[in-house]
Amino acid sequence: MTHPIIAEGRVAVVTGGASGIGLAAAKRFAEAGMTVCLVDRAAERLAEAKEAVAALSPSGSVLTSHTDVGDRAAVEALAKNLFGRFGTVHLLFDNAGIQPGSDIFGPVANWDAVLRANLHGIIHFAQIFGERMVAEGEPGLIVVTGSKQGITTPPGDPAYNVAKAGVKAFTEALQHDLRNREGCRIEARLMIPGFVFTPLTQKGRTGKPEGAWTPEQTADFMLEKLGTEDFYILCPDGEVTREMDEKRIAWAAGDLVENRPPLSRWHTDWAEKFKAWAKGT
């Protein structure tokens, strides 16, 4: 069982839909009989992705849009086109993201690119499509892809962490707004993947690491959880259990509550204390 909005005759828009989790989810939506629009800035991958998704669709109704999610005017134009053509969009999988890497004092171009795509791109689609979805009055769903890095903020890629922390805060605010709108039939969910082997995380590797999930495993887990009332869809993987995720998240919150050093999980005075605490010793 999954969310009732995922059904024949409905329209789904998937950003970052040419690869990874976006493509895997788009295939599932197509199998359910939905009309699917794949949005991606990688034009060369869109045609191949369209063919793969259409092969699974009973109707073969698959569209593509070569759109930069960070370009608000382009997102507005896409929304105008799709709502004009279909009347409404029932499901927005707001998923696009990049990860070129960053350092605190590293190239500003990396910071600008990550924030533009991973934060502003998410916001553009949720605002522009979400407002239209609410106005149409039909049931609908907005699923936003966050990250555990936006919750526990590990060292190594601060721009990505900042963007995903913003995505978490934005999606929480989005769902709060939607549930308090009189007569609103749209809801939001936050999807939080684990370690998934995608072009974003591949980093030169040709084979999937043993502990990583495939995009298909992640999409299937997401669809299952969409059939529940869970807002936070916290995905495990082959290395990290739900229990360990909960401990890491609780410890990160404890840095503030207990006034420990920031990122104490990786601090020389606290790292072993975290490991002992996580083991329950």
Catalytically active residues, by annotation: 160
Contact by Cβ (8 Å): 208, 214: yes
| Helix residue ranges, H only, 57-153 | 72-86, 108-114, 121-136, 149-152
Q: Supply φ then ψ for residue 257, to 5 degrees.
A: -60, -40
Phi, psi of 152 (to 5 degrees): -95, -10
Q: How many CB atoms lie within 10 A of CB 142?
A: 24
Cβ-in-10-Å burial (0-12, 13-18, 19+) of 191 comes to buried
Give the separation between CA 170 and CA 119, rounded to whole angstroms: 9
Q: Is 39 exposed, middle or buried (0-12, 13-18, 19+ CB in 10 A)?
A: buried
C-beta of residue 142 within 8 angstroms of C-beta of residue 101: no
Q: Which residues are within 8 A (CB) of 109 and not within 5 positions of it... i.e. 6 or more apart? A: none
Residue type, 248: R
What is the DSSP secondary-structure string of 166-226? HHHHHHHHHHHHHHTSTT--EEEEEEE--SB-SHHHHTT-SS--TTPBPHHHHHHHHHHHH
Q: Tokens 């790292």 map to which residue? A: 271
| Tokens 């105008």 -> residue | 80
Separation between Cα atoms, residue 136 and residue 175, nearest integer Å:
18
